[in-house]
Each structure stands twice: as structure tokens, then as C-alpha cells.
Amino acid sequence: MKYVSLVRHLVCTAALFAIAGAGMTAQRGIGVARTPLGDGPWVFDTAEQHKVRAVIVTKGLANPWSLAFLPTGEQLVTERSGKLRIIRNGVLDPQPIAGVPPSKMQRLGGLMDVVLHPRFSDNRLVYLTYSKPGEKDLIATALGRGTWNGSALTNFQELFVVEPWWDGQGGAASRIAFGGDGMLYMTTGASVANMKDAQDPSHHKGKVLRLRDDGTVPPDNPFVGRPGHKPEIYSLGHRNQLGLAIHPQTGAVWSNENGPNGGDEINVILPGRNYGWPDVSLGRSYEGPWQGRFAKEGIEAPLVYWMPSIAVSGMAFYTGDRFPAWRGNVFVGALRFGEIAQTGHLQRVVFNERGEEMRREMLLTELRQRIRDVREGPDGLLYLLTDENPGALLRLEPTP
């Protein structure tokens, strides 16, 4: 008799809390599957690119969240517990990088995104987002930057702190990306206790913010000077945004966010627009009723959505030449695979010339790893972080 073991071991309820985007309930954690990653490499047949190989760069990470490629070839990786790590020539330095601000791994928060300034070669600025610890177990999402001196961050400055502080339950994620206009786009999530904050322009939460590289407000932001509106707001009505990428041709800002029980989305972010959370959603609430209406006048519809949720995470456009059949596709990390077996995969989304979705492909399902982030390397290969502990950096490459 063959034994196909899907559930290698059940994870405890505490770990389940970190599974999806936000606001997981105990109910969601029924019989969750987790599979330890082997040593690889693995070769996968895929639909359009045919054979691709997944190679482990390192397995020594703890819940890695994001990575950035230094022009000198090293990779910077954030760990949600608060450490910034560096991989040199494929070897993970056992010492974390000094000069990183204090952060707190609370609920789904912690140390999150790491992004280089577009003129990094000149100014050596590294940007981080993180949950800043406060009083009475409150946290706030913060943005800061430090200067890379070749081995550490120096002169780290906090640039912006999201109002209000909260207990961290809900949309703790904060991605950042520099747009084609040189501005810094920063996502903030809605809390579970105050979901309506996402619709409230006097709060920063549940928004995409647009900032100058020093954290100040660009004067051409859509709500500048409007009473009752935070001037940093670029768009509103978001839940927990775990992926942010700039379209390589149009410069448009694409963000993805987790729905509750269904309704994960990719949105094209336009100035001053409302994306509907929590009133308009294509998902159900965790308790069963529909979250709200599927659509509403004045609310932007998603470009791509998922039902059931796959707990979308890091997102990247593929622009390289190592996977010719994948050029122009969007890759999205998934923290889930089906609604109950809580392990993830990588998803590929194909668009037509009008930017409309044509089809999707699930990749690396057999590995059953939660994929937290996906990035294209300067070598044209794809790099993936698994949200596990131990967690891995994987490289996807064509077979010879």
C-alpha cells in the first residue's frame, strides 16, 4: 500500500495564528498540514516554461519576510523576529546585521520589508518597515532608513510612523516600493477591531501611502489640504497588503491584499481611489456571511481575485530573459494551498496585452511551503522566501 502523507505533522494553534493575512480564528486551523522542506534540488515540469529547478540557497532563516539584492551581489533578508541577515556568495552570515531598529514580532507584525533606494549606488540608503514597540503591548507600523556601510546599517532614522497605535491584530503588513515617479509607496493594513479605519481618511491604516524618500508628504498627493484627510494617503479601503510591485512598463503601482474567507485581490493603485474594504469584498467573513457587497459604484474592482483565498503574499513582475515564456507574468507567493491544508505555493498569473488576466498556474505545490516573498534577482532568476522556521531562500532556475 502506498502512503501519501499530506499531513506530516500538525502545527499547534499558536502557530496557526500567523497563517494568513490577518485575523485568523481558531476555526481556520483545523488539521493543518506542514511539511519540512527537504534538501533538494527539485525539478518541476511546468506548463509553459517546462522544466525548472528549485535550489536551496540557505535554510538557515527564521520566518524570513523580504529580500533585497545589493549591487555587489549580496542578498539582504529580513526576519520577522527583528533581524536583518546577509547572504554572501550563497552563504548566510551567522551574525545579523547591526544598526537595525528595535521591532516587535507581535501577531503578524515584526521586521518586514527591506528595499534599496533607487539611487542606492550614490546614497547607500536601505529602507525598512517594522512594527515599532510601544507601551502596553501596543505597536505601530514604522518606516525608516539607514546607510549601508558594507557590513552594517549606520545612522538609522525613523521617517514615518503610522497612526494609530494598536494591538497588532489584523493588517500588520507593510510593504514598500519606489514608484516610477521616484516616490515611496507604503502599504498599511486595517486592524480587526477597527476595520472601518480603512475607509476613514483621518487614519493611516488600511491605505496605500505615498511619501517622499525622506518620509515627508509630496505636495501633489490626492488628499493634501483636504480637511479630515491624512495627507500621506494615496488610496484607501485596503485590508492587509502583503505584496507591492511596480509595473515594469507602465510604472503603475500594483498591490495585493488578503481577503478574509475568500476575496484575496491584486489591485492597480490609482490616486484617491477607494478599494472597498470592509464594505465591498468578494469574500465571506470568517463567521460565514458575505463580508459585504461584491461591487459598488465608486469602488475599484480588483484586477485579479481569488476564491477561496490562497493568502497572497510577496509579488513580483518577471522581466528577465532566463525564463522567456514567463516574461511579463506576475508571480505571487501563497501562504496557503486550499482552505484547510495550510501550506503554500507559488502562483503565476498571465495577462493579455490589455492587462486583463488570462490564466494562472500553481507552482511548487509539492514542496508545500508557505511562500512569503518572491523577487527577481539581477541574474534574471526568481528567488523565494519560505515563511517557515527554519525558513529557506530558494532559487528557481531553468534546467541546463
Q: Which residues bind its own copies (CB under 8 A)?
A: 1-7, 27-28, 30-33, 38, 40-48, 50, 261, 282, 284, 287-290, 293-295, 301, 305-308, 337-341, 351-352, 354, 356-362, 365-366
> Residue 320 burial by CB count (10 A; 0-12/13-18/19+): exposed, middle or buried?
middle
CB of 20 to its own copies, least distance (A): 12
CB of 364 to its own copies, least distance (A): 9
Helix or strand holding residue 131 (H, E): strand 125-133
Closest CA to 20 of 29, 12, 31: 29
Longest CA–CA span in the chain (Å) reads: 70
Asked if residue 308 has a cis previous peptide bond (ω within 30° of 0), the answer is yes
CB of 186 to its own copies, least distance (A): 28
Cβ 220 vs Cβ 203: under 8 Å: no
> Any residues with CB less than 8 A from the CB of 370 and at least 6 apart, and which?
19, 311, 313, 333, 334, 335, 336, 342, 343, 344, 386, 387, 388
CB of 38 to its own copies, least distance (A): 8
> Residue 287 burial by CB count (10 A; 0-12/13-18/19+): exposed, middle or buried?
exposed
Q: Which is nearer to its own copies, 219 or 288 (CB)?
A: 288
Q: Which is nearer to its own copies, 47 or 98 (CB)?
A: 47
**Cell numbers found for residue 136:** 502596553
Closest CA to 237 of 195, 269, 205, 276: 276
CB of 277 to its own copies, least distance (A): 15
Residue 314: how many other CB atoms lie within 10 Å: 28
CB of 278 to its own copies, least distance (A): 17
Q: Which is nearer to its own copies, 122 or 287 (CB)?
A: 287
Q: Which is nearer to its own copies, 42 or 156 (CB)?
A: 42
Q: Which is nearer to its own copies, 27 or 154 (CB)?
A: 27
Q: Which is nearer to its own copies, 189 or 292 (CB)?
A: 292
Q: Which is nearer to its own copies, 132 or 284 (CB)?
A: 284
CB of 344 to its own copies, least distance (A): 13
Cβ 199 vs Cβ 281: under 8 Å: no
